[in-house]
Structure 1
Amino acid sequence: MSRFFNFRASFALAGDTHNREVLVVSQGFQRFEADDLTATLESTLESEVLPDDIFILVPLASFDEVMKQCHSDASLKTALQRGPTIWARVLVGINGYGLVGKAESLGGIQPLTESQIEEAFKRAIQEGLHHIAVNHNVLKHAPAGCVFVKPSGDVLDIFLLAADLLQSEAEIVFVGIAVLQKIGKQLDGVRTIYIDTMSMQPLARAVVAFAQSAGRYVAPSVQSFHSYTGIEALRPEMPEKILCLISASTSGALAKRFATHARCPGNRIVTCLDVEDHRDDSHVLINVQTLFNVNVRGRDKGRPGAARVQLAGEFFGSTASPPRAVVLSLKHAVADLKRKVGLFGVQKMFALDFAAPGADQPRALAIDGAALMLVDSFKEWVNQRLRWSVPGTTKWIVHADDPVSADMASFCERQIEQMGLPKPDGLINASDLGGKTPMSTDHGVLIVSAVVRSGTQLASISRDLRLFAPKSPRTFLIGVALPISSSAYKTTEANLRKGPKSWDYAVETWFSMAAGHSDGMSSWDEERALLLHLLEEQVDRPFATWAEARFKAISDTGTAGSTPRLHSTTSGAPLVLRRDFVFLDNPHELTDQALVYALISATLQNARENSFIAEDLQLRSSAYGHVVLSPECFTRYNDGVIQASLLRAAYPSELDFESSPELSADMSRILRRVFQHHRLERGEAATEFATALATQRMRIAKTWGKRLLDDELLASVKDVPELYGLLDFARHRYYWDGSR
């Protein structure tokens, strides 16, 4: 997945006699890599007519590093200098208010002035928003014979789906920059950002994270009021400390109602998609009516006999159908995963909330690459692949830019020698490949990578080899692949395999497992943010002592297994897996929490994307129906470590029971039993459940939330600081819809 979002914009600046064609490349949150920017520029400039100008947009914190790389990285310099007729090449560093913080020319025959750069930047942001909206088709038409009924009561044959704006991380960041431009200094001191649907959560997080990356001290919580269903109860204690992001509107009614009930001025409300350029009660990012050339006001509202599809927050169901609940079972198990996991032997391969060496942020689920080279079955597999798939004429071994891949390359070099074949000419680090002298021979190249997620670095290596060794056959050996989805990894493999017309390259992977999306705010990120917030509130000393210890324990993300990532029982014992787990052959107790989490993550992802699973069992929401995990999952799988893994690996929308009184009632009864019996096996994950409620990863209907978190329950856990503190905070949210 690219770290950049790019598009073409067309506009005229002051003094221009015609429109400029501008290539805009915008960076996301991931760490800047010169190779990735080079690949983006090359692919775009090769496939399209050269633009007049190139604008590269990066967070202000990355500006100096990107500027340095633009002048020192040979491949990037070559890509930037492509097209001698380009007027201007500009690097822009965006500050915490979404405005130009720094700007430098990267060459061109007609450099822009400072005022022209600022004007071009504003125009580029607006055209980028339009590009995203059109490219992802945020304007949805009702199926034949149907009309949509909005919560406001309007009946239309179209609706606006703002969730489709937020497809990739780089696009989310780009939209977040546009939001920052609208709200300006209003973000300072904000305690809570309200969102109308959970689909807006990534955008709210991106707005905060971008402001923080530029040095602004902001740390608001993000809360959904679930469109019209929860707006009546909104009574924020400090209206001047809130902001609101609304996904879409065709009437402006939701913004107006929020402004009234939350006593929030319109300059603190932003609507992403609207049919107006501006409203008194909110800022507007994108005017869909103008963009798509439709007259929303004049749509046919009648359609006698048409089936009515009722809008319910970000999901849609005929006559407001309740969420469909899915119970995980063997039907959702990943084929052959039990055997594959058995290959690890006694080594603990998975790590929770871990930032591998060189990674820019921790991932909820990661691979401890250092353990990989200790697995005998992996080394046996490498030996087999070297004999069966790697040409005997292999002359070079290229490895990914990390220590474990370097070790894997050295191991391959030794094994090739032991096979009696000529020793390769040496090991080449991927980061050094761009500066190598091109080879004209047709000797083989072996590319090794210990751990792969998106495959970006392997794609970069593949591109560089087109220059370094264009005639050489290639073999890719990959240790462990942990992609977001199976389909994403199949695409990665297909791209790496693509060789000259006469043959394909070999791609071999020892172990791959799709584990869902673990970028952005993981459950541990949310927990750290919650603990910081509570400690700032000067909570009771016993709870503060626990919160400080917990925060310290989960702050070390650079050492795999440095501390158990899942909460212990209230008696202090770590969560373990008892015998006979349906997704794993374990005749004895299992203490590897990360392995259990990995199996649950893989099972959930398989339930989401495997089209061979019966449709009514798939864990996949659509525009016309919301799908959740059934509360029965927490009774069927009653080991605390499994329950904790479900709570942390599931997407928040899959634990959102708020729109169903029946599911909320079932979940409330399960939660009460867990909290009341927290000293017994059935309640060993009590602190995990309390954390899920406090961070709002799990939500139940307000009525049932109040019944659950009553005085009697809190009194029963008064002697357990962590339970009492977390549940007391969760109760505050259910009663008052805000942070303390």
Structure 2
Amino acid sequence: MDNVLYFNAEKDRDGQRFDVLCAYLGGKAWQDSSSFYAALEKALKNSDTLPDCIIVYVASGEINNCLHYWENKELHDSFLGRLSKNNVCFTKALYFIELRDGRFKIYEGYTSSPNPFQLQTKDVTDFYSKGLHKLAERNNVLHIAPAGHTFKHPSGRISKMFIQSRDIAATETELQFVANGFRTLVKNVDWLKIKTVYIDTMGIYSIVKEAALTAGCSANIESYHSYDSLKELNLPSDDYLVVISASTSGGMARDLINRGFCKDKIVTLIDVKARSSLSHVLIDLSSTGLLQGVSNVDGNETDIELVGEHFSYRAKPPKQVTLGIPHKPKHLLDILKDFCITGINPINQRVDAIGKSPLLSLKPANLHASGKFIDWLNEELKWSLSSSIDTVVFSDDGASEVLAQKALDFIKNASGDDKAPSLFKWPNINKEDLKNSTGVIVVTAFAGDGGKLRQISRDLREYESKTIPRHFLIGVGLPQSKGSWKKLEQFLVRNATPRFYNFSVWKVLPLGPDNIKKSWDELAELAAKADNASTSPLEMITPDEAAKCYEALSNYIEQARDSLLPNANGDPLKLTEGFVFFDDNFDHKIDSITQSDTLLSMAAVLQTAREHADPEKCLRPTNYQSVIISPENFLRFNDDILQACILRASQPSELDYSSDHHLSELMKEFLYKVFTRHKHPFGYAALEFAGALAVGKLKLKKEHCRELVEKSVKSIGSESHVLTGFLLMAMPKS
């Protein structure tokens, strides 16, 4: 169970926007001082930036423990040290907020200045509501019907939306948070007088029960099962409360009021908008971004019938997506022309300048030597750089200093005065460095999802004496997704004025989730299991023979820590001419194409497929239909390295063929051909397929997987110890 729930909020004061980190501490945070501070530090580590203020919500009865733990000097001083940087304390205040008797009570835990961040009851109420909204977003309570479909609600209403309130709390801490919010934010409910609480579904029983317990209420909780028994629900003579799990139209609350129920005694947990004339609404989705993009019903859709809180449409076969020209990334070729062959580091190579080993990374020299990039840089500075900018800040990554120097030279030549612009390396900057600055440009050669840029932005805001023009300039962006890049831009450009900061980037190439790198870790874990294996799951392979196979498997995995698995002959996988996404640009030097070139390209293609606007071509599942990479892809992209890159860059759900008998059987037949032809080009990716099967990333129906392993091992025998080793490890447990 997680012991802390955390989220970021904002507060405007005197025309300036302040970052607030909010945390709700769950039960395990109160075991001792170490647990208490560990929970706070976890929230702080996951904050977008060092916050201006920290607010800790404390459940009733724990405030004394909270204040006692807070006074632990050693842990206290260590935690406060995390709030400072370069002898500047970023966090101005920390408050503890006790949720007691349905109210928020504020305790001051720490302030660092004579004019601290002032907190009002309205602020902590608004922040708590913000936390509920973010929880609704995080736990995906709102489901949007896929293209061409609508939801048919139990009331008979047709809608593009369905709200699943039971998903609002996924952990014990989240349950406590929602229940306390229910009790504290819903006013005019005297819990001690309530005799019966009516709920429309058992899915929200735990939330209502927790809210009642915290209030000391012993009322009976009865479910009237949505519209099925609503007509049989009579107006009770004793005090009552009716809790509606969710609403998109207010219909159930309206029916209740028409039958004599009081609106002040009706609460809707989640609604698409506030309806004060019908009920209290705890979470108003119109205050979130969840309703954006919801289309209207045109009457030609297929209905997905809802049965209570369940879908009756889950039997729909998975959607198959075949990769092709429509999935070609917009900037892939532009980046490859400058970085392919010589400019993409080998897989998992350590980059000393940043002290990390990213799966895929670009070489700075290729960016600095790119004529197209230099032309873009000069044009961008000429057209977009404010004349008031006199300070250049660059990230300490071994790649950005050259670009920073170019920006510095441009400012110097453009200004025409004797004053030289300032150049600073982050994080080696402080308040004194920016004392007289009139504008700042932040330069970085490469950026992922922008964690470092966020921190630079946070530091500048702290060090600048007033809000001055700022410009973020990035060479190449390699984020996980378009969405994460958009969030980065929105974070960086906002400030305390109505104007936005400037944001410039040459090329952006989303590469998909970070878990691509996980496949190397999974193989290492597989090797460790093989090292400890002492038996054979098949009678046809003796224990001694199995031991040789497991040893060969471990050796191959060890040799491929920084590459794809080789073919069964021990040779590296390579690309041949005609790769559709290269547009014949590299056919004349195809032997020089590296594995990292190919993996980067395929990862970008798959991420483009996940974000495709056409639902039929989009490699993104819904709650009503899974989506998989069609088996046809492995015939279309029949180069061994392309098949391997698809396996590595895919999400496990995209390779799960176990939900459909036909697809599972189709993949079983294809894999059998690959395994039995492992000595020939058609089967050169056999170890990658077998590895994906063994670690559970590629899934078949259990009976198909068992049949595949038995039949393949019988055919291969001792011809390839390593392939047999992978297949033995892939054998399903009976």
Question: What residue number does 2:571 align with?
Answer: 573
Partner-residue secondary structure (3-state), 1:464: helix
Counterpart of 1:549 (choices 542, 552, 555) is 555
Is the CA contact (8 Å cut-off) linking 2:343 and 2:365 kept in structure 1? no
* Contact residue 449 and residue 479 of structure 2 kept, 8 A: yes
Alignment partners' CA distance in 1, 2:374 and 2:699: 46
Return the match for 1:601 from 603, 607, 618. Answer: 603
Per the TM alignment, residue 476 of structure 1 is displaced from its structure 2 partner at its CA by: 1.9
Alpha carbon RMSD of aligned pairs, Å? 5.0
- Residue 333 of structure 1 corresponds to 328
Does 1:493 pair with 2:505? no
How many Å apart are 1:382 and its aligned residue? 3.2
| 1: CA distance, partners of 2:406 / 2:620 | 42
The answer to whether 1:627 aligns with 2:623 is no
Q: Deviations over 1:187-231 (max 9, x none)?
A: xxxxxxxxxxxxxxxxxxxxxxxxxxxxxxxxxxxxxxxxxxxxx
C-alpha contact (below 8 Å) 2:320/2:629 kept by paired residues:
yes
SS at structure 1 position matched to 2:347: strand
Correspondence 1:200-279 to 2 at 5 A: 275=205
Once the two structures are TM-superposed, the CA of residue 486 in structure 1 deviates from its matched residue by 1.1
Identify which range, 524-533 or 616-625, moves more after superposition: 524-533
Asked if 2 retains the 8 angstrom alpha-carbon contact of 1:538 and 1:544, the reply is no
Q: Which residue of 2 aligns with 1:152?
A: none
1:461–1:108: structure 2 CA closer, same or farther, 3 Å change rule?
closer
Q: From 87, 93, 96, give the equivalent of 1:82.
A: 93
Aligned pairs for 1:374-413 (under 5 A) are 374-391=369-386, 394-413=389-408
Corresponding letter in the other structure for 1:432: N
Name the residue aligned to 2:447.
452
1:112-132 deviation per Cα after TM superposition (whole angstroms, max 9, x unaligned): xxxxxxxxxxxxxxx999887
Residue of structure 1 in register with 2:721 after alignment: 721
Distance 1:43 1:610, change over 3 A: farther
- Once the two structures are superposed, what CA deviation does each residue of 1:251-287 show, in whole Å capped at 9, x if it has no partner? 9xxxxxxxxxxxxxxxxxxxxx98559xxxxxxxx99
Residue 533 of structure 2 is aligned with which of 517, 533, 537? 537
Is 1:610 matched with 2:608? no
Report whether the alignment pairs 1:70 with 2:82.
yes
Equivalent in the alignment of 2:701:
701
TM-score by length of 2: 0.62
Corresponding residue of 1:320: 315
The CA deviation at 1:468 is: 2.0
Q: Distance in 1 between matches of 2:25 and 2:469?
A: 46
Relative to structure 1, the CA distance from residue 158 to residue 500 in structure 2 (aligned partners, 3 Å threshold; closer, same or farther) is: closer
Amino acid in structure 2 at the alignment position of 1:587: D
Distance 1:388 1:140 in 2: 43
Structure 2 distance, partners of 1:669, 1:344, is: 38
- 1:347 lines up with 2:342 in the alignment: yes
- Deviation digits for residues 97-144 of structure 1, max 9, x if unmatched? xxxxxxxx98579xxxxxxxxxxxxxxxxx999887555466568975
SS of residue paired to 1:523: helix
- Tell me the SS of whatever aligns to 1:318: coil
CA distance in 2, matches of 1:138, 1:393: 44
1:416-447 alpha-carbon deviations (Å, 9 max, x no partner): 667796674442122233443543453x4221
What aligned pairs does 1:368-379 form with structure 2 within 5 A after superposition?
A: 368-369=363-364, 372-379=367-374
Amino acid at match of 2:469: P
Change (3 A) 1:340 1:402: closer
Partner residue of 2:256? none
- Hey, what's the Cα distance between the residues in 2 that align with 1:726 and 1:629? 22
- Residue 668 of structure 1 corresponds to 668
Contact 2:516 2:648 in 1 (8 A): no
Provide the rounded CA distance (Å) in 1 between the counterparts of 2:399 and 2:675: 43
Distance 1:716 1:12 in 2: 55
SS across alignment from 1:616: coil
What amino acid maps onto 1:324 in structure 2? K
Equivalent-residue separation in structure 2 for 1:477 and 1:642 (angstroms): 34
1:474 corresponds to which residue?
A: 470
Counterpart of 1:511?
A: 507
Map of 1:427 onto structure 2 = 423
1:501, 1:616 → 2: CA distance? 42
Task: Tell me if structure 1 keeps the 8 A contact 2:446–2:477.
Answer: yes
Whole-Å Cα distance in 1 between the matches of residues 647 and 389 of structure 2? 48
1:439 matched to 2:435? yes
Q: CA 1:358–1:624 in 2, change beyond 3 Å: closer, same or farther?
A: farther
- 1:448 positional shift: 0.6
Q: Is the 8 A contact 2:93 2:110 kept in 1?
A: no
**Does structure 1 conserve the Cα–Cα contact (< 8 Å) formed by 2:656 and 2:698?**
yes
Whether the aligned pair in 2 keeps the contact of 1:398 and 1:409 (CA below 8 Å) is yes
How far did 1:387 drift? Answer: 3.8
Distance in 2, Cα, partners of 1:520 & 1:336: 21
Distance 2:720 2:710 in 1: 16
The alpha-carbon distance between structure 1 residues 424 and 531, as it changes in their structure 2 partners (threshold 3 A), is: farther
Give yes or no for contact 1:676–1:716 (8 Å, CA) kept in 2: yes
Offset of 1:594 from its aligned partner? 1.6
Larger Rg over CA atoms:
2
Give the Cα–Cα distance (whole angstroms) in 2 for the partners of residues 393 and 461 of structure 1: 20
**Deviations 1:479-532, CA, capped at 9 Å, x for gaps:** 111112113212322333345656443322122111111158621122122222
Shift in Å, 1:605:
1.4
What CA deviation, in whole Å up to 9, does each residue of 1:24-68 have, x standing for no partner? Answer: 975669x959x95513x44979xxxxxx9999x9xxxxx899647
- Judge conservation of contact 2:480–2:512 (CA < 8 Å) in 1: yes
Q: How many residues align?
A: 546
- Map of 2:30 onto structure 1: none
In 1, the alpha carbon distance for the partners of 2:649 and 2:26 equals 48
Determine the C-alpha separation between the residues in 1 that align with 2:166 and 2:568: 43
Counterpart contact for 2:393–2:425, Cα < 8 Å: yes
Please give the alpha-carbon distance, in whole angstroms, between the structure 2 residues aligned to 1:631 and 1:498: 45
C-alpha distance in 2, partners of 1:699/1:477?
43
1:298 to 225, 231, 242: 225
Offset, 1:619: 1.1
* Secondary structure of 2:474's aligned partner: strand
CA 514–529 in structure 1, closer or farther in 2 if over 3 Å, else same: same
- C-alpha displacement of 1:391: 4.5
C-alpha distance in structure 2 between counterparts of 1:450 and 1:715, whole Å: 52
Deviation by residue 1:649-680 (Cα, 9 ceiling, x = unmatched): 11100100101011111111111111111111
In structure 2, relative to structure 1, the CA distance for the partners of 1:4 and 1:342 (3 Å cut) is farther
The secondary structure found in structure 1 opposite 2:400 is helix
Structure 1-normalised TM-score?
0.62
Shift in Å, 1:78: 4.0
| CA distance in 1: counterparts of 2:428 and 2:97, whole angstroms | 29
Measured in 1, the distance between the counterparts of 2:326 and 2:498 equals 41
> Contact 1:315/1:624 (CA < 8 Å) preserved in 2?
no
State the 1:587 CA deviation. Answer: 1.8
The gaps in structure 2 that reach 5 residues or longer are 9-20, 28-35, 57-62, 70-74, 99-107, 113-128, 156-161, 178-200, 208-212, 231-301, 536-545
Of all paired residues, the percent bearing the same amino acid is 25
CA distance in structure 2 between the partners assigned to 1:175 and 1:353 by the alignment? 37
3-state SS, counterpart of residue 507 of structure 1: strand
Shift of 1:74: 5.2
**What's the offset of the Cα at 1:644?**
0.7
1:682 deviates by: 0.9
CA shift digits 1:592-616 (9 cap, x unpaired): 22222222222211221232x2x22
Once residues 356 and 461 of structure 1 are traced to their aligned partners in structure 2, the CA distance between those partners, rounded to angstroms, is 21
Q: CA 1:724/1:318 → structure 2, altered by over 3 Å: closer, same or farther? A: same
